Chain A
Amino acid sequence: MKKWIDRIARWVFTVSGFTTSVVILLIIGFLFTEAAGLFRNPIVEEGYVLALNPKNPVKELSAEQIKQLFDEDITNWKEVGGPDLPVRVFRLEDLDQLYTEEQLGAEYEFAGAKIAEQVQQSPGIVAFVPDVLVQEAPGVRCLPDRTIPLKDVLLGAEWYPTATPSPIFGILPLVSGTIWVSFFAILIALPFGLAVSIYLAEIAPEKVHKLFKPVIELLGGIPSVVYGFFGLAVIVPLLQQTFGLPVGESGLAGSIVLAIMALPTIITVAEDAMRNCPRTMREASLALGATRWQTIYKVVIPFSITGITSGVVLGIGRAIGETMAVLMVTGNAAILPSSILEPLRTIPATIAAELGEAPAGGAHYQALFLLGVILFFITLFINSCVEFVSARNKFKR
């Protein structure tokens, strides 16, 4: 009987451990496949082509150039390496203004021919049209479409996922937004967190400690949306007034909210680590004539440095992955921030805000998965840094 229970227990643990691991791996695998799908998408929206006059020698256009052409920021072909020729932007809707319904046919059956006519007439034209209409048309050169290049995504400084004809998925503004917000959050949280944990572990009388510790742990349990609301109601207007900003929603507001959110984690973990420093070690230091402060920073902190670092990393982890509060206070402008006082946007906020409007399976949707992968790598990188640092700490017990 005992043997059977033992066997069943072993089986249950093996199976549950195995399934959990497999499920997690599958989730990661899913994330990666979806993200990789982005690079199989053409630059120009699926099903459409850019048609040029055959005399126009321009061979290829990047997504950014296409966007500028259609925004009429580029008005001459020589800016993209072509001849000195004014650009004429042509969209499918323009057909209705140029031709009557009869000319186009009841079912648009003559539309292809009319587009071809337009393209042939003006050498500087760039027409954004469905590929079926112009594939067979004579005198029309379709720009060969490429898939989205990795370089443009990873190093791209612009994030316009809904731009037509070609969306731009430069993740740099989002990555830098995340890093800026997290960096400043840690910069704010670290000194305060350390100070409070030192106070609680070393200086506070037992009564104060008994009162403070649960309160701080309670702060860690407040939902992030509440912190976001607090940030929106208090910190944002405060920043707007103090710095005279046009809008208070800024990276700094996000950093402050995140710092407040990371504090409970940093304080509890660091304080626990410092409390674990044996009493005899403190006594040894004091017995040598060291002051209390010397004992704290020369013995207690070095002894508990691993615990303190893990508290800080958990804090950073929370800051990087935090979505809701950041979404509410950073202003959500997907631009490369030039100062922490400007609105910016983080990776998690982008995913949360855009996933709803991105059609499943489309390029935008896959781009959001790619952001998830990037976030995964950032966290992985930070965790390995900590592993590396604590493994190198040779004075550890």
Chain B
Amino acid sequence: MNKIEAKNVDFYYGSFHALKHISLDIPQNEVVAFIGPSGCGKSTFLRLFNRMNDLIPGTRLTGQISIDGTDIYGRSVDVDLLRRDVGMVFQRPNPFPKSIFENVAYGLRVNGVKDRAFIAQRVEEALKGAALWDEVKDKLKESAYALSGGQQQRLCIARAMAVEPSVLLMDEPASALDPISTAKIEELICDLSGRTTVVIVTHSMQQAARVSNKTAFFYLGEMVEYGETKKIFTNPDQEATQNYITGRFG
């Protein structure tokens, strides 16, 4: 069953044609990785799934993207509700200037949850889910900036997971982190698969190979190849993919 379906997506920043005729289906509760050199459009494509690109003036989209069968660019779509259901983790850890607890509780609070006991429970679950609970349980009231970069990024994952989204978008979530923190985050992604649909953009092919079920290779705004991760990394159909994964360019 497909969670996300994109059909003939073209996307423009002003006159720049950033994404060209992309069609791709993302199956439910699997991890899909987008790989490709910088500027190939993979992040742009990812940000279409929660309409983050709406914030950038002068952009234009044609084609159709649907989640659970609903066109997310349709007129009756409530963007705030969409974003609540499609969580996102960014390239750099970006905790809010609040306490650790309030960072995780934020999503619940802005979505109108008032029940304190429930919030506390969800915060604990989310922090445990992000393998951060043991490290922060005694300092939940402290500033999120007191945490290390890797901890901050796991906090951001906990923050995104606290509202229980059915899709989690990750835009190079480990690119600013050291190898140990990266390993922890990859472990988290593996934990999530089977429960949540995860779409991850990454520069690291090893990472894509380790965490994903399916991989899409982007190049110059086009999706060159999309398939089972194993196949992409062992026996790709396209020569460009072969060249990229073997490190001949990119």
Mark A residues whose CB is within 8 Å of B: 205-206, 278, 280-291, 294, 298-299, 302-303, 394-397
Whether the pair B55, A283 counts as a contact (CB closer than 8 A) is yes
Contact check, B97 vs A287: say whether CB atoms are below 8 A apart: no
Residues of B within 8 A of A278 (CB): 94
In the complex, what distance in Å separates the CA atom of A288 from the CA atom of B86?
8
Contact B80 A302, beta carbon cutoff 8 Å: no
Q: How far is the CB of B17 from chain A (nearest CB, A)?
A: 23
Asked whether B160 lies within 8 Å of A288 as measured between CB atoms, the reply is yes
- Report the separation of the CA atoms of residues A299 and B106 in the bound assembly, to the nearest whole angstrom: 10
- Closest A residue to B81 by beta carbon equals A289
B91: which A residues are within 8 A, CB to CB? Answer: 280
B174 adjacent to chain A (CB < 8 Å):
no
Nearest chain A CB to B241's CB is how many angstroms away? 30
Contact indicator B57/A206 (Cβ below 8 Å): yes
Question: What's the least CB distance linking B87 to chain A, in Å?
Answer: 7
- Cβ of B183 within 8 Å of any chain A Cβ, yes or no, is no
- The answer to whether A289 touches B145 (Cβ under 8 A) is no
Minimal Cβ-Cβ distance residue in A for B162: A288
Whether the Cβ atoms of A395 and B97 lie closer than 8 Å is yes
Residue contact B99 to A288, C-beta cutoff 8 Å: no
Q: Closest residue to B146 on the A side, CB-wise?
A: A394
- Assembled-state Cα–Cα distance A108/B115 (Å): 93
For residue B96, which residue of chain A has the nearest CB? Answer: A299
Q: Does any Cβ of A come within 8 Å of B159's Cβ?
A: yes
In the assembled complex, the Cα of A395 lies from the Cα of B101 at a distance in Å of 13
Pair A395/B98 contact, Cβ less than 8 Å? yes
The answer to whether B110 and A298 have CB atoms under 8 Å apart is: yes
State how many angstroms separate the Cβ of A278 from the closest Cβ of chain B: 7
Please report B residues at the A interface, Cβ cutoff 8 Å: 50, 52, 55, 57, 80-81, 83-88, 90-92, 94, 96-99, 106-107, 109-111, 142-145, 156, 159-160, 163
Give every chain B residue within 8 A of A285 (Cβ-Cβ).
96, 106, 110
- CB contact between B84 and one of A283, A289, A299, A396 (< 8 Å): that residue: A289
Of the candidates A205, A282, A290, the one whose C-beta lies within 8 Å of that of B80 is A290
Is A288 a contact of B90 with CB atoms below 8 Å?
no
Which one, B81, B86, B92, contacts A280 given CB within 8 A? B92
14 examples of A-B residue contacts, CB within 8 angstroms: A280-B92, A283-B55, A284-B94, A285-B106, A287-B50, A288-B107, A288-B159, A289-B84, A290-B80, A290-B107, A291-B80, A302-B96, A395-B97, A396-B97
Nearest CB in chain B: distance from A19 CB, A? 41
Tell me the bound Cα distance from A298 to B159 in angstroms.
Answer: 15
A394 touching B143 in the complex, CB below 8 Å, given contacts A288-B163, A291-B110: yes
Residues of B within 8 A of A284 (CB): 88, 90, 94, 96, 156, 159
A281 touches which one: B81, B88, B96 (CB < 8 A)?
B96
Nearest opposing residue in chain B for A305, CB measure: B97
| B110 near A294: Cβ-Cβ < 8 Å | yes
- Cα distance, A283 to B159, chains bound together (Å): 13
Given contacts A278-B94, A291-B80, contact A286 B106 (CB under 8 A): no
- Nearest CB in chain B: distance from A373 CB, A: 38
- Contacting pair A286 B143 (CB below 8 A): no
Given contacts A286-B55, A291-B80, contact A395 B99 (CB under 8 A): yes
Find out whether the CB atom of B106 lies under 8 angstroms from the CB atom of A288.
yes
Assess the B143–A283 pair: CB atoms within 8 A. no
Residues in A with CB closer than 8 Å to B86 are 287
Interface pair B83/A286, CB less than 8 Å apart? yes
A6 to chain B, nearest CB (A): 39
Most chain B CB inside 10 Å of its own CB: which residue of A284, A285, A288, A290: A288
CA distance A303 to B110 in the complex (A): 17
Select one of A286, A303, A394, A396 contacting B96, CB under 8 A: A303
**In whole angstroms, how far apart are the Cα atoms of A294 and B143 in the complex?**
20
B102 to chain A, nearest CB (A): 9
> Please, how many angstroms separate the alpha-carbon atoms of A286 and B159 in the complex?
12
